[in-house]
Amino acid sequence: MNLFIKLLGTGVSLLAGYVGTKLVDSVWEKATGNQPPKGHDDDVPTTLHSALTFALISAGVSAIIQVLANRGTQRAITRFAKSQDIV
C-alpha cells in the first residue's frame, strides 16, 4: 500500500505540474498579450528580459507544486501508517 501511495503522489504531482504550466501560460498571455516564450517560435522575437521573467515565474510555480505534492504524499503515508497501527 505504501508503494501505491507513492505512485499516487507521483501521479498527482505530474497532473498538478501540467495544470500549473497551463495556468502560467494563460496568465502570461493575458498579462502581456503575447505567447509565452518557449524557445521554438522563430517568427516571434523574444527579449531576454521577457524570457528570464517567464523562466523565473515558471520555476517558482514548479517549486511550489513540488513542495505541496511532497508534503501531501508524506501526510498520506503518515496517515496510512497510523491507521495500520490502530488496526
Rounded CA separation 44/57 (Å): 20
pLDDT one digit per residue (tens) for the chain, 87 residues = 667 777 877 888 888 889 999 999 999 999 999 888 887 765 667 888 998 999 999 999 999 988 988 888 888 878 877 876 665
pTM: 0.75
Vertex 56, ends 17 and 44: CA angle to 5°? 90
Residue-range domain boundaries for the chain? 2-86
